[in-house]
Amino acid sequence: MTEVSLLSLVKSYGGAPALRGISLNVGHGQFVSLLGPSGCGKSTTLRCIAGFEEVTDGRILFDGKDISRKLPEKRDIGMVFQSYALFPHLTVAQNLAFGLEMRKVPKAQIAERVAKTLDLVQLTPYAGRYPKALSGGQQQRVALGRALVIEPAILLLDEPLANLDAKLRDEMRGFIRDLQKRVGITTIYVTHDQNEAMTMSDLVVVMFDGDIAQAGTPEEIYNTPATEQVARFVGNANILDLPVAASGAGMAEVTLPGGAALSVPAPATPGARLGIMARPEQIALADAGQGHLQGRVTRRLFGGGYIDYEIATDCGVLAVQTPANVLAGEGAAVGLVLDPARLWPVARDAAA
Amino acid sequence: MRLAEALLALFRVLVYIFLLAPIAVVVLASFNAGNFLTFPPQGLSLRWFVTFLQNDVFMDAIVYSAVLAALATAVSLVIGTMAALYYVRHAGKEAETVRVLLLLPLILPEILTAIALLFFFYEIGIGLEHKIALFTGHVLMTLPFVFLNVTTSLQGRDEACELAARSLGASRMTAFRRITLPLIAPGLATGGVFAFIISFDTFGISFILKGTGSAPLPIQLYDYLRFNFTPEAAAVSTVSIVFTLVAVVAADRLFGRKA
């Protein structure tokens, strides 16, 4: 197990920097996701750690040792590529053996370790097949096996599930997470899918525009996002722009259009305005006239186990998600109940 | 519909006749028993093949051409592969310029390339000494064929394969040898066969740049035909045709389906 530290990592291709000095610490055996839209620098970060990109400035440490100037083949990493990058002219077993051959492992040991890893990724019956004779999910597991068989210091995964269909993606998500726990390897996972990042990770690192916007547990990122941008990227978010009526002891009391007051944990001065985030499932529906806020249902989408509503209120159109047993038709007047314990103030975007 | 299909079939046959008839004539003429290069042949005989095999000038020329073609192909394979790797992986904005420059010997009339080389080598004081100009010309003529074929097999391949090999502990050179090379082998084989045949058959470059001393087969054949008109020339051509055919068929059998 290895600890990975990034110290003020800068990567520039001549124009605007792709990475603007990011720092991050990944603990022993942790599963960390780099999450962000395309072009945010998450893949560049991974390629810097792998050694495929030279860092412009800053350092990368594995267990305290600076490896930022080392060649990729000297870094002891296992990497899974989005395209899997299996060697098409080698069988599954030969693909797995490649890294061990490079490490000059004796032949008998290679056979043994390949067999063990094939078992781990459940591909033993396919050892003699060529990659093109395998399904997408099987190819994915070959790529995982090939990266793990060398027992690398860290495992890097670059959007490994992006090429799979939805059902297989869910399966592989669980498979990778279980495997990582079993092997106990420090893992860095790049994805643009917030669902993937949240379900699999110990730590989620949200990146925008070459910088880290927030790093935290999935719960922290979802429930207490640092900015409006993070709040919106990791899930559906209603942001209510409300005036502060009173404040004290780190709490602020905000007033809703109907006159109802709510207190949220934020330092603010009376008269200022606060952006308050409420997730769709944190808002409940009540009869008209009740609750904190009044509105009218403008859209109702039945989702099986839940119903998605769009409700026009004096605070703008809000998204609300309720269990499927709550029934309110389109056009119905409803009251909205906010959960004061889960409201969270977020810094508004400059553009908003 | 019937009529259209019949016309198409007829057209196909005519095209094949147009392409293959001259070759058939040469081959048949080489089995001529008479003293002159005539068609139809006057009686069947292998005597001109025997004459050819006993003719040191032609035998030397065949060996000379084969060695020249082999060396030119070897050098083209190395330079062409490096150029293809650069073009596909690293050229970026300059890619199109690189491609056009490399294909120039194919686009320009051969005679222009030959004359340009002639001027160049006299300008730098080497002239036609030591066959350097001739060899350079042959490499230039064969390079585009290696470049095109290797480029095609590289473009169908995932660059991540090389990176994956690096991440697994392979040096740049090992990754090339163990991963890239096997993947572009079909392109190398096809390009190599093309290069060899082009070098073996090319006339303009050899004619202008051959200098003194031994000359490649096409030049020797041309010289011979200026003063003689025996079926020996047809025998030489037939051997040359068989040679080329064997190379093409062998390459197709070995790599055809993969390329």
Q: Tell me: the pLDDT tens digits for A254-273?
A: 888 877 888 888 777 777 88
Q: DSSP code of A349?
A: P
Indicate the pLDDT class of residue A349, thresholds 50, 70 and 90.
low
Please state the domain extents for chain B: 56-255
Residue of A nearest to B156 (CA): A88
| pLDDT of B161 higher than 70 | yes
A23 in the same domain as A128: yes
Q: What is the per-residue pLDDT across A288-309, written as a single tens digit (0 to 9) for each?
A: 888 888 889 999 998 888 999 9
Q: Residue A308: inside a domain, yes or no?
A: yes
Which of A232, A248, A264 is the last residue in one of the domains?
A: A232
A311/chain B closest Cα distance in angstroms: 48
Judge: A78–B167 Cβ closer than 8 Å, yes or no. Answer: yes
Q: What is the per-residue pLDDT across A325-334, written as a single tens digit (0 to 9) for each?
A: 877 888 888 8
Mutation target among A53, A73, A132 for the B interface, most CBs of B within 10 A: A73
H/E element holding A158? strand A154-158
What Cα–Cα distance (Å) separates residue B163 from each residue in A81, A85, A180, A240, B155?
Answer: 9, 8, 23, 47, 16
Q: What is the per-residue pLDDT across A195-232, written as a single tens digit (0 to 9) for each?
A: 889 989 999 999 999 899 999 999 999 999 988 899 99
Note the pLDDT of residue A352: 42
Chain A residues lying within 8 Å of B158, measured CB to CB? 83, 85
Beta strands in chain B (DSSP E): none
A84/chain B closest Cα distance in angstroms: 8
The class of domain B56-255 in CATH terms is mainly alpha
Note the pLDDT of residue A327: 77
A83 in the same domain as A204: yes
Q: Residue A228: inside a domain, yes or no?
A: yes
A70 in the same domain as A42: yes
The burial of A177, by beta-carbon neighbours within 10 Å (0-12 exposed, 13-18 middle, 19 or more buried), is given as middle
Note the pLDDT of residue B256: 58
Which of A211, A232, A253 is the last residue in one of the domains?
A: A232
Which tokens is A181 given? 């726990």
A280 in the same domain as A141: no
What is the rounded radius of gyration, in angstroms, for the C-alpha atoms of chain B?
Answer: 22
Q: Residue A212: inside a domain, yes or no?
A: yes
Judge: A98–B170 Cβ closer than 8 Å, yes or no. Answer: yes
Indicate the pLDDT class of residue B168, thresholds 50, 70 and 90.
very high
Q: Residue A352: inside a domain, yes or no?
A: no
Question: Whole-angstrom Cα distance, residue A29 to residue B212?
Answer: 74
Domain range for A101: 4-232
The answer, yes or no, to whether the previous bond of B40 is cis (omega within 30 of 0) is yes
Residue of A nearest to B162 (CA): A85
Chain B residues lying within 8 Å of A99, measured CB to CB? 168-169
Q: At A90, which CATH number?
A: 3.40.50.300
Region A25-37 average pLDDT: 92
Q: What is the per-residue pLDDT across A164-203, written as a single tens digit (0 to 9) for each?
A: 888 888 888 888 898 898 888 999 999 999 888 998 999 9
Indicate the pLDDT class of residue B13, thresholds 50, 70 and 90.
very high
Q: What percent of chain B has pLDDT over 70?
A: 95
A29: left (phi over 0), alpha (psi -120 to 50) or beta: left
| pLDDT of B209 higher than 80 | no
A219 in the same domain as A77: yes
A226 in the same domain as A159: yes
Tell me which residue has tokens 């089995």: B31
| pLDDT of B156 higher than 80 | no
Nearest to A98 among B163, B168, B182 (CB): B168
Note the pLDDT of residue A91: 93
- Residues in chain A whose Cβ is within 8 Å of chain B: 50-52, 71-73, 75, 77-79, 81-83, 85-89, 98-99, 102-103, 146-147, 150, 156
For A258, residues 6+ apart whose C-beta sits below 8 A from its C-beta are: A292, A293, A294, A314
Judge: A85–B160 Cβ closer than 8 Å, yes or no. Answer: yes
A170 in the same domain as A116: yes
Nearest to B169 among A81, A89, A103 (CB): A103
Note the pLDDT of residue A350: 60
Nearest to A87 among B161, B166, B167 (CB): B161
A103/chain B closest Cα distance in angstroms: 7
B157/chain A closest Cα distance in angstroms: 9
A223 in the same domain as A257: no
- Domain total for chain A? 2
Mutation target among A102, A132, A188 for the B interface, most CBs of B within 10 A: A102
Q: DSSP code of A125?
A: G
Q: Residue A265: inside a domain, yes or no?
A: yes
A246 in the same domain as A138: no
Judge: B167–A71 Cβ closer than 8 Å, yes or no. Answer: no
Judge: A78–B166 Cβ closer than 8 Å, yes or no. Answer: no
| pLDDT of A244 higher than 80 | yes
A204 in the same domain as A271: no
Which of A213, A232, A251 is the last residue in one of the domains?
A: A232
* A111-115, B91-95, B163-167, B180-184: the lowest-pLDDT one: B91-95
Question: Whole-angstrom Cα distance, residue A68 to residue A50?
Answer: 9
Q: DSSP code of A267?
A: -
- The mean predicted confidence, pLDDT, of chain A is 88
Note the pLDDT of residue B223: 81
Q: What is the largest CA-CA distance in chain B?
A: 70
Note the pLDDT of residue B259: 40
Higher pLDDT, B93 or A45: A45
Indicate the pLDDT class of residue A118, thresholds 50, 70 and 90.
very high
Indicate the pLDDT class of residue B114, thresholds 50, 70 and 90.
confident
| pLDDT of A32 higher than 90 | yes
Q: What percent of chain B has pLDDT over 90?
A: 17
Question: Whole-angstrom Cα distance, residue B6 to residue B85?
Answer: 47
Indicate the pLDDT class of residue B127, thresholds 50, 70 and 90.
low
- The mean predicted confidence, pLDDT, of chain B is 84
A255 in the same domain as A197: no
Region B148-171 average pLDDT: 88
Judge: B163–A71 Cβ closer than 8 Å, yes or no. Answer: no
Judge: A73–B166 Cβ closer than 8 Å, yes or no. Answer: yes
Which tokens is B44 given? 């069947």
Q: At A339, which CATH number?
A: 2.40.50.100
